[in-house]
A and B are shown apart, each in its own frame.
Chain A
């Protein structure tokens, strides 16, 4: 069984994306034997009012039973924007969304801000994960209006330090995973899960040695990145099948309360 903890649908303003609808994602999942997938609205990253994107995703998701059964929608929330708590409550309780995705760089706030900390605390109360991404696209090939700075793993640590008992998913680990001793110890004992879509996971075996096999899970970052690479990093791993099984689905099941 495969669960993808990092995929999107919706519009990216700077280039055409294939497979950018729930149905297209489902077809992609069928083609590559993926059972379930976390899905987030790309459109929400660029909307001021992210709730309109969340609602659009919800409407699309609930239009077919198979979409409802196999896709796990996350809400895009900007905790510095008016009404975000109402939106969050609606997404989790009414729409049945399974987690919260935040984009501090795109929404222009710091991961250390009080609003971000409050969001993590609310997520903890709901028992849903907060997802942060180290980058959406390779900054070198970005459109000039897109953000330039990418994050390393260390950049997301401030919120984990402040709310260590929330759950976190780190998407697209494309850059350094180096942490100081205290942060590494914190990640190890916290509920943190990183997906395998980012280029820094090419040496997945080494990362497992550092962080442990409970800290990684299959992710594609589709439809921005190709659908196979994140999976190949697991399948070609020189580890026991029991470890691979954790990465294919077991760690995701645990993180997502499936």
Chain B
């Protein structure tokens, strides 16, 4: 069982007009006195967002190298699960080993704060399985998979089975049909056809009900309503709220569709958006704490990788 380093939370200070002919006259400059004066803040609640953010313990279930450690400190993100940025189709074993070595180095640099996630290319099955073993020995937990193949492609089966045996969550980049990727996309944003879309996750999750899948970043630019609705009935698929899109209602909608246990806090390094969208959500403090920390920690606990 690992120990979570308590983040060093700083204490912040709280806080000519020739308007069309006829009916229109020349403009009158609207002065301060001519307008309403507005209320004062004296009798309103003194809301302190820094205090609010500090209330919650946090694990970032989707962080990408290199994390902003200073901002993570400020926001009270105690631990980050980190992978290298996405690589493309022709990723060789030497290249993914090097990517994982970079994560191992990062873990050594920030012990207890950063846990690396394992990247492999399923087109190299033997090398991928060996690499998972090597990385687990180095303390890495879970996967960081991209789109060398769809998650339901049979070439992924050995990797899924290996990670399921380890009780590690299987994180893979996902996008939606109506969004940046998918077969119904009406515009080209340069994504390969091997991106996993929700239907691919469903097929893999149904084939491996004992495995835990993390559909990456519903705030990553895809249609989050589509994603959440797709996964409603598949209890072994989890979503994180990472990504730069911080649309209002996203987190509540995820909880509405998936329940309060299957939504995870994540940033994909959009730290303000990641925290802000949860803070603003119309949920109870307890539900927010589950999203920020407890839910992901419960998944880690299944393999004994959790924090106190």
Q: Is the CB of A257 within 8 A of B12?
A: no
CB distance from A97 to the nearest CB of B (A): 9
Known: A85-B20, A85-B24, A231-B49. A98 touches B35 (CB 8 A): yes
Q: Is the CB of B20 within 8 A of A86?
A: yes
Known: A15-B225, A35-B38, A222-B248. A122 touches B49 (CB 8 A): no
Q: Is the CB of A226 within 8 A of B247?
A: yes
Digitize A224-238: 1 where CB-to-B-CB distance is under 8 Å, 0 elsewhere.
111111111101100
Q: Which of A94-123 contact B (CB under 8 A)?
A: 96, 98, 121-122
Digitize B36-53: 1 where CB-to-A-CB distance is under 8 Å, 0 elsewhere.
111111001111111011
Known: A85-B19, A229-B276. A33 touches B36 (CB 8 A): no
Q: Which of A50-73 contact B (CB under 8 A)?
A: 66, 68-70
* B23 adjacent to chain A (CB < 8 Å): yes
Q: What CA separation (Å) do A74 and B13 show in the bound complex? A: 33
* A211 adjacent to chain B (CB < 8 Å): no
Q: Is the CB of A141 within 8 A of B245?
A: yes
CB distance from A209 to the nearest CB of B (A): 17
Known A-B contacts: A33-B46, A85-B19. Give 12 more (CB < 8 A): A15-B225, A17-B249, A36-B39, A69-B36, A86-B24, A96-B30, A125-B29, A226-B246, A227-B280, A232-B272, A232-B275, A236-B272
Q: Is the CB of B17 within 8 A of A122?
A: yes
* B257 adjacent to chain A (CB < 8 Å): no
| Stretch of B178-186, B196-204, B232-240 with 4 or more beta carbons under 8 angstroms from chain A | B178-186
Known: A125-B16, A202-B270, A236-B75. A35 touches B41 (CB 8 A): yes
Using Cβ atoms and an 8 Å threshold, which residues of chain A touch B53? Answer: 232
Q: Which of A35-59 contact B (CB under 8 A)?
A: 35-36
A-B contact count (CB 8 A): 173
Q: Is the CB of B249 within 8 A of A32?
A: no
Q: Could you name 8 residue pairs across A and B whose Cβ atoms are closer than 8 Å? A: A89-B24, A92-B30, A93-B28, A98-B30, A140-B222, A228-B277, A232-B272, A236-B12
B contact patch SS: loop
* A128 adjacent to chain B (CB < 8 Å): yes
Using Cβ atoms and an 8 Å threshold, which residues of chain A touch B281? Answer: 226
**Residues of B with Cβ closer than 8 Å to A?**
12-13, 15-17, 19-20, 23-32, 35-41, 44-50, 52-53, 71, 74-75, 176, 178-180, 186-187, 189, 221-225, 244-250, 270-273, 275-277, 279-282
* A83 adjacent to chain B (CB < 8 Å): yes
* A88 adjacent to chain B (CB < 8 Å): yes
Known: A17-B248, A241-B13. A236 touches B74 (CB 8 A): yes
Known: A138-B245, A140-B179, A224-B248. A89 touches B272 (CB 8 A): no
Q: Is the CB of A31 within 8 A of B47?
A: yes
CB distance from A69 to the nearest CB of B (A): 5
Q: Is the CB of B247 within 8 A of A33?
A: no
The 7 A-B pairs with the shortest beta carbon distances in the complex, nearest first, are: A33-B47, A229-B276, A140-B221, A85-B19, A228-B276, A226-B280, A140-B180
**Residues of A with Cβ closer than 8 Å to B?**
1-2, 15-19, 30-33, 35-36, 66, 68-70, 83, 85-86, 88-89, 92-93, 96, 98, 121-122, 125-128, 137-138, 140-141, 143-144, 148, 199, 202, 222-233, 235-236, 241, 257-258
Q: Is the CB of A89 within 8 A of B27?
A: yes
Using Cβ atoms and an 8 Å threshold, which residues of chain A touch B221? Answer: 138, 140-141
Q: What CA separation (Å) do A258 and B40 show in the bound complex? A: 13
CB distance from A139 to the nearest CB of B (A): 9
Q: Is the CB of B49 within 8 A of A235?
A: yes
Known: A122-B19, A126-B29, A229-B273. A96 touches B249 (CB 8 A): no
Q: Is the CB of A228 within 8 A of B49?
A: yes
Q: What CA separation (Å) do A86 and B180 show in the bound complex? A: 42
Q: Is the CB of A148 within 8 A of B39?
A: no
Q: Is the CB of A225 within 8 A of B35?
A: no
Using Cβ atoms and an 8 Å threshold, which residues of chain B touch A70? Answer: 38-39
Using Cβ atoms and an 8 Å threshold, which residues of chain B touch A89? Answer: 17, 19, 24-25, 27
Most buried by A among B35, B46, B189, B270: B35
Q: Is the CB of B19 within 8 A of A86?
A: yes
CB distance from A26 to the nearest CB of B (A): 10
